Structure 1
Amino acid sequence: MAEVNLNRLSVFTALVRAGSFTAAADVLGMTKAMVSQHIARLESELGVTLLSRSTRRMTLTEAGSTFHASCLSILAEANAAIAQVGRSQEQPSGTLRLTATGDYGTAVVAPALAQFLREHPSLQADLVLNDHMSDLIAERFDLAIRMGWLRDSNLRSTRLSTFRQLMVAAPAYLARCGQPRLITDLASHDWVALTLLATPLRWTFTAPDGTRRTVRMRQRVQANNVTTAHALVRHGAGVSVLPDYLVTEDIRQGKLVVLMAQYSLPVCGIYAVYPGRQPPAKVRAFIDHLRATLAAPG
């Protein structure tokens, strides 16, 4: 049996429904000869006769009647699948599978996702937190929230917001080791290094006059994720650079102190990254929700 052109199924069912080649041609917007040609080729591809034709009428053969019933079922399922895809592009539905880093996912994404699910009760979510770069396609993620600077890839992205990097230490550490006054003082302080970074011990600071100074820190302890580094700094292990979303409340409560505030570090981006040119409604809706959450005061 030759490969069957599935487009001919629609022509065949339209012909049966219309009752004649002429009527079917009108419905399909093609010539009578083209309808006849499609049916002839379909019969050839199937290797069976679907229609008995005479000058006055046409009737389905036994094989044609059975095949027609199957065609109706196939086309109904195809239409239902198309409609379902269309709905997913228009209304959030199904399960939103997303990933983020452990620190940002816990501090920001999880609370925002909880509110988003309350606003969309028919949705489900699967939030995966890890500090390695997930393969969105291989691991079947709808969306990733990524921090810092994006690598070149074939994924689509949109910037949601930014965050500042702040150099901080606990009051207990400063009471024990003193507070650095000059940028060069940092080299003699205990440093909590984050091994996720390309250069965890080398930092470049920009002074108020725009000049840049690079300092190599002295590692006292290292951590493989931001949450652990944050805990070490809070408990007086040393000095480190941490994201503002993680330390703002600690600073407000006096649990951490910002050091060398006159110097600045590069502002980093917060991005939504997703595969495909046309993300489904659930992805678009959550991106909008998270952007609004980040833009809200306080």
Structure 2
Amino acid sequence: MADVRDVNLNRLAVFVAVVEAGSLTGAGERLGLAKTMVSKHMQRLEAEVGASLLVRTTRRLNVTEAGRTFYDASCLVLRAAEEGLSAIAGEVGPLRGTLRVNAPIDYGSLFVAPALVEMRRAHPELEVDLQCVDQYVDLVGEGIDVAIRLGRLADSNYRAVKIGEFVKWMVASPAVAGADGEHTELATLAGMPYVAVATLPRPLSVALEHRDGRKDSLRYPSAFLTNTATACRAATLAGGGVALLTDFSIAHDVAAGRLVRLLDGWTTAPASIQAIFPATKFPSRKVRVLIDAVRAQWEATAGARSEVV
């Protein structure tokens, strides 16, 4: 087995860049190195670790099984080094390195992306990798520094910081809602076409509570199903039916009259918006700055959401 003292740890950054870029040329462009130098680093790294990490052909570059395992370990080493440097640097000075963020498509587009733009204005040496998907990912396995999660969190070893709360409203396009849409009764909605996000645990069920404490629910036998909240909103705007959508994603549509809020006074129970990140010995300053920036973006729109309650 190779000894860590025989491995040039600087080559780990080159190896990670090769895997993520998918080619020696792409890694060289990212690192500012010639392709021949990148190739030489990879040859020497393979000799140092005693294993084949990459398979090169004339048309493509593939990562071996050993290479994939070593890539995951290399990401952890580099992240730990970045966190240690951040801790030593203290609370002043520009942020550097790469910040990898995961967020739901709608919340990531509306709040996380603008927050990251503001961060880069203040810290131009910071590299950003924002991944917006509506499925949960393994933070450690995917090399994610921080993820935004909506709703209840499953038990895990991740650390969590609350950013805010949201609720969902029953809404429809004016054509579907009718002139008195905001006064529609829950029983009436049960007979209307429904648009839902298929990835939710119970996509056909609606559980609501009134501001006076009353609770009620209904279940649709079928629905127009889609795998993202963004597509669900688009289908609702197009007149596909009624939908249960997050207040932050549709407040501007309701204010502009593109959607009508149904069931005056009824919402889902408040749910949390949280930032989660791997528990580490050295809390990342980049993560803390991002959380503050996202929270500022969220609070800046609080007034717009409350105006249509």
Task: Mark yes or no: TM-score above 0.5.
Answer: yes
Q: Which amino acid aligns with 2:123?
A: H
1:287 aligns with 291
Secondary structure of the residue that 1:210 maps to in structure 2? coil
Q: How far apart are 1:82 and its partner, in Å?
A: 10
Q: TM-score, normalised by structure 2?
A: 0.66
Change (3 A) 1:281 1:179: closer
How far apart in 2 are the matches of 1:213 and 1:151?
Answer: 26
1:260 aligns with 263
How far apart in 2 are the matches of 1:82 and 1:117?
Answer: 19
Q: Of residues 115, 119, 122 in structure 2, which corresponds to 1:116? A: 119
Secondary structure of the residue that 1:188 maps to in structure 2? coil
**Equivalences, count:** 221
Per-residue deviation, residues 221-248 of structure 1 (Å, max 9, x unmatched): 1111100000000000000011111101
Q: Which amino acid aligns with 2:107?
A: Y
How far apart in 1 are the matches of 2:212 and 2:219?
Answer: 21
Q: How far apart are 1:83 and its partner, in Å?
A: 7.8
Q: Of residues 88, 105, 111 in structure 2, which corresponds to 1:102? A: 105
Per-residue deviation, residues 52-73 of structure 1 (Å, max 9, x unmatched): xxxxxxxxxxxxxxxxxxxxxx
Q: For 1:223-262, list aligned pairs within 5 A.
A: 223-262=226-265
Per-residue deviation, residues 153-212 of structure 1 (Å, max 9, x unmatched): 000000011112111100022249977622111210100021111111111222344232
Change (3 A) 1:235 1:96: same
How far apart in 1 are the matches of 2:226 and 2:179?
Answer: 22
1:189·1:218 contact (CA, 8 Å) conserved in 2?
no
1:166 aligns with 169
How far apart in 1 are the matches of 2:183 and 2:195?
Answer: 15
Per-residue deviation, residues 27-56 of structure 1 (Å, max 9, x unmatched): xxxxxxxxxxxxxxxxxxxxxxxxxxxxxx
5+ long unaligned stretches in structure 1: 4-79
Q: Which amino acid aligns with 1:201?
A: L
Q: Which amino acid aligns with 2:117?
A: A
| Percent sequence identity over aligned pairs | 35
Change (3 A) 1:135 1:103: same
Q: Does 1:213 align with 2:216?
A: yes
Change (3 A) 1:204 1:86: closer
Change (3 A) 1:286 1:236: same
Larger Rg: 1
Q: How far apart are 1:111 and its partner, in Å?
A: 1.2
Change (3 A) 1:81 1:267: closer
Q: How far apart are 1:268 and its partner, in Å?
A: 1.4
1:164·1:267 contact (CA, 8 Å) conserved in 2?
yes
2:188 aligns with 185
Per-residue deviation, residues 239-265 of structure 1 (Å, max 9, x unmatched): 001111110111111000000022221
Change (3 A) 1:82 1:182: closer
Higher mean C-alpha displacement, 270-279 vs 144-153 = 270-279
Q: Which amino acid aligns with 1:238?
A: G
Secondary structure of the residue that 1:137 maps to in structure 2? helix
How far apart in 2 are the matches of 1:134 and 1:82?
Answer: 21
1:22 aligns with none
1:202·1:215 contact (CA, 8 Å) conserved in 2?
yes
Q: Of residues 136, 140, 143 in structure 2, which corresponds to 1:137? A: 140
Per-residue deviation, residues 91-141 of structure 1 (Å, max 9, x unmatched): 522110111011111111111111111111111110011111110000011
Secondary structure of the residue that 1:219 maps to in structure 2? coil
1:65 aligns with none
1:88·1:280 contact (CA, 8 Å) conserved in 2?
no
Q: TM-score, normalised by structure 1?
A: 0.68
Secondary structure of the residue that 2:222 maps to in structure 1? strand
1:70 aligns with none
RMSD (Å), alpha carbons: 2.6
Q: Which amino acid aligns with 2:131?
A: V
Q: How far apart are 1:219 and its partner, in Å?
A: 2.7
